[in-house]
Structures are given as structure tokens and as C-alpha cells.
């Protein structure tokens, strides 16, 4: 007979289910697999992740040899340039051009500044640390999401979403700032959930310095806080300082950019907005192929995933409205932020929606809030959506290994 008082044997699955640290380590292993396969396919050259193009990079002038792999290149080039000199004020240096977008690029300073610090100002270490910071960021996001799930009475497994999100894989594979931004916002949400509001404010400020669209998430918290104060759900008006914290830093940084470049970041890049859904429709018209190639198939799969996530998130919100469940401040925050990000996405121009790299990057914050809504509401993503997410992660892994 089995002694009922004897301790139950803990399996690896049980350990993972309640251990955020274990889940984040599994996420790290998967991310390292992606990195290793892509690094090997790029000739074991860390600069392959930068995706440098002839139009922007003169490889003879760069402080370290940078592999030029295409004509146009991608945004990782600008982060590499800023990591060589974060406070630069010249349009062309280190063999890399800003193409009249210096102020716009420099406003997203935290990612390249961290790389510059970690590399000790040594250009030879910049390509490695551009990638390493993103690997660590995805791991940190996984840890935060696992803890959010545990606090909501769910399995820590949900932290794996940070590594399995196709947008994260795509951003990491091109040395972009989204993984760091998502990590900071995940920790901001966790801090709010545990009522550590000073930490939440700090994470929001850092996220703003990483990607300025994160101000949508900060503004959403501001809307929720005002609503809760007016309704008497929260008593301390000091709470409004949390979402307002990024604002003075944003204004000060924009004034610095104006002085540094002679124009504001928005003037540097221009506005990428259209009437609601106009950009999506125009991108579909311009991009409709005579036959479906690999890029078109990937785009359709990823659009399908976004629509599926939107439908299930909408169902979770609808069930909340019909139930008597008390909605926490964090859940309200993600609800409002998800709606605001949906509106924001519908206004983006075809320049974003023309290619899956663009809209999968920009939708990461939207997807983050969707996951938090489903975790905190108790209406979890369906098994079919989870299976499709894993399939799409593996499909994306295959893509980033076989191509740029």
C-alpha cells in the first residue's frame, strides 16, 4: 500500500508549471536554438543579424567588418550605428547613413545605449551585444509573464509565449528594439499587478526610451487610473503620477533631438498614418500576388494569427462584461491598452502593412495585452490557437534560418 502521508513525487512538468524561473530557462534554450541556427546560416558572423544594405552601409568605412547582405537593409543598421556612438549628431558616420532620419532613430536610444555600455565602447563587441541584449530581454519577458500568470492562478507555462511569438523571433533576428520594449512593459504590468507603482513608473519611462509607441500603453494606464479615481475604486491621486512619469522625459528628449538635429523626430521621419484600415487595404492592393510565394504565405499565416488572437481576446472581453467578475487595475489597463492599440494599428499606413516584418513588430504590444487579458480574465487561449502559435513559431524559425 502507498503511504498517503508520503510526499508526492514532483515531475518535471509539475516543476515547470509552477516555476517562472524554469519556464524562462526553457524560453532561453529555445531562443538560443534560433540564434545558433541563424548564426550558422549567416556564416557564423554576428553582423548577419544587422541585415545591412548597400544603400545605407559602406562596409569599407565601418569600424568593424559588417556583412552587407541586401540592397536596402533593415532597421538594425540604425541601432548598430547608434551603438557605436549613442549621442551622434551627424547624418553619416562609421560608414552608415541615417538618410535624414537621425532624430527619429535616435529617439529610440535605450537599446543601442545599453549595447554601447555593455561593449565598453569597443566597436568589435557591438554586433554580439546587439543580439545578446535581445536574447536576455526575451528571457526577462518570459519570467515576467510567468509570474503574472502564477499571480492570476494560471500555469507558469504561459511565459513561453515570449519566446514563441513570431514577432519576437523576427525582431531578434534583425537586431531590433522590440524584445527589450516588451520585456520592460511586461515588468511594468507585473509591477502594477503586485502594486509596486514606483517600479511600474520606472519601467514605463525606460520603455518610452526604447520605443516611443509605448506611450500608448502609458496613456492607457492614465485613462484607467483617472476612471478608477473618479469612481472611487482607487483613493490615492498620487497614482496618476505612474502613467505620467514618461511624459517629462519624453518632452525633454524630444527637445534634445530638436537641438541635435534641427528638427523633431516626427518631422525627421514623417507621419505613417492613414484613415482607419486604409493602410491595410492599400497594402493588400499593392501586395496582391499573381501567385503565392514563401513571403506571401508567411504574411497570410501571420495575418491569420493576428485575426485569431483578436477574435479570442474579443470573446474574453465579452465574457468579462457578462460576468460579475471584479476587474483589477492591471486587467483594466490591458483592456484599455488593447483597444487603443487596435485603433492605432488600424490607422497605420501601407508602409507598415506592406510586409509581415512591419506589422508583426508593431503588433507585439497589442499581443502582450491580449495575453494578459486572457490570463487575468481566466478565459485562456484555446488549444487550437496555442498549437497554431507553436506552428507559426517553428515556421518563423525556418524562415529566419533560410533567409534574411
**C-alpha span between 250 and 240 (Å, rounded):** 17
**C-alpha span between 275 and 281 (Å, rounded):** 10
Cell numbers that stand for 91 in this block: 547624418
**C-alpha span between 317 and 338 (Å, rounded):** 10
What's the chain's length in residues? 404
How many CA atoms within 13 Å lie on the side-chain side of 116?
15
Task: Print pLDDT tens along the chain (404 aa).
Answer: 445 555 556 677 777 788 999 999 999 999 999 999 999 999 999 999 999 999 999 988 999 999 998 888 899 999 999 999 999 999 899 999 988 889 999 999 999 999 999 999 999 999 999 999 999 999 999 999 999 999 999 999 999 999 999 999 999 999 999 999 999 999 999 999 999 999 999 999 999 999 999 999 999 999 999 999 998 888 888 899 999 999 999 999 999 999 999 888 877 666 567 888 888 888 777 766 655 667 778 888 999 999 999 999 999 999 888 887 789 999 999 999 999 999 999 998 888 888 888 889 999 999 999 999 999 999 999 999 999 999 999 999 999 998 76
Domain boundaries, the chain: 18-402
User: Alpha-carbon dihedral of residues 146, 150, 155, 157, nearest 10 degrees?
Assistant: 10
Q: What SS3 class is residue 53?
A: strand
**C-alpha span between 23 and 42 (Å, rounded):** 29
**C-alpha span between 344 and 354 (Å, rounded):** 16
- Taking a C-beta distance cutoff of 8 angstroms, is the pair 309, 379 a contact? no
Task: Provide CB contacts within 8 A for 373, sequence distance 6+.
Answer: 313, 316, 317, 331, 334, 335, 338
Amino acid at each position: 500500500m502507498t503511504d498517503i502521508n508520503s510526499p508526492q513525487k514532483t515531475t518535471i512538468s509539475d516543476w515547470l508549471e509552477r516555476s517562472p524561473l524554469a519556464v524562462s530557462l526553457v524560453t532561453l534554450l529555445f531562443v538560443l536554438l534560433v540564434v545558433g541556427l541563424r548564426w550558422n546560416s549567416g556564416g557564423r558572423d554576428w553582423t548577419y543579424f544587422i541585415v545591412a544594405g548597400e544603400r545605407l552601409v559602406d562596409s569599407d568605412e565601418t569600424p568593424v567588418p559588417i556583412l552587407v547582405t541586401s540592397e536596402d537593409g533593415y532597421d538594425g543598421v540604425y541601432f548598430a550605428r547608434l551603438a557605436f556612438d549613442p549621442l551622434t549628431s551627424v547624418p553619416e558616420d562609421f560608414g552608415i547613413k541615417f538618410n535624414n532620419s537621425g532624430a527619429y532613430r535616435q529617439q529610440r536610444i535605450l537599446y543601442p545605449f545599453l549595447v554601447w555600455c555593455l561593449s565598453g565602447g569597443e566597436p568589435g563587441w557591438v554586433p554580439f551585444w546587439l543580439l545578446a541584449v535581445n536574447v536576455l530581454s526575451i528571457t526577462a519577458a518570459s519570467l515576467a509573464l510567468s509570474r503574472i500568470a502564477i499571480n492570476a492562478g494560471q500555469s507558469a507555462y504561459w511565459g513561453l509565449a515570449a519566446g514563441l511569438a513570431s514577432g519576437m523571433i523576427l525582431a531578434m533576428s534583425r537586431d531590433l528594439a522590440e524584445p527589450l520594449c516588451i520585456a520592460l512593459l511586461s515588468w511594468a504590468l507585473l509591477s502594477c499587478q503586485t502594486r509596486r507603482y514606483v517600479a511600474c513608473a520606472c519601467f514605463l519611462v525606460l520603455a518610452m526610451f526604447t520605443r516611443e509607441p509605448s506611450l500608448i500603453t502609458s496613456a492607457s494606464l492614465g485613462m484607467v487610473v483617472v476612471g478608477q479615481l473618479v469612481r472611487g475604486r482607487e483613493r490615492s491621486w498620487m497614482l496618476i503620477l505612474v502613467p505620467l512619469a514618461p511624459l517629462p522625459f519624453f518632452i525633454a528628449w524630444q527637445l534634445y533631438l530638436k537641438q541635435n538635429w534641427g528638427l523633431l523626430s516626427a518631422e525627421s521621419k514623417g507621419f505613417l498614418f492613414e484613415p482607419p484600415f486604409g493602410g491595410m487595404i492599400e497594402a493588400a492592393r499593392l501586395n496582391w500576388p499573381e501567385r503565392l510565394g514563401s513571403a506571401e504565405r508567411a504574411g497570410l499565416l501571420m495575418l491569420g494569427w493576428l485575426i485569431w488572437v483578436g477574435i479570442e481576446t474579443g470573446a474574453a472581453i465579452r465574457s468579462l462584461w457578462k460576468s460579475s467578475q471584479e476587474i483589477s487595475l492591471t486587467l483594466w489597463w490591458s483592456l484599455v491598452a488593447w483597444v487603443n492599440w487596435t485603433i492605432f494599428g488600424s490607422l497605420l499606413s501601407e508602409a507598415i502593412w506592406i510586409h509581415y516584418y512591419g506589422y508583426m513588430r508593431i503588433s507585439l504590444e497589442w499581443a502582450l495585452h491580449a495575453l494578459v487579458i486572457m490570463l487575468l480574465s481566466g478565459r485562456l487561449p484555446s488549444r487550437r490557437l496555442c498549437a497554431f502559435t507553436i506552428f507559426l513559431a517553428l515556421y518563423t524559425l525556418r524562415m529566419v534560418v533560410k533567409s534574411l
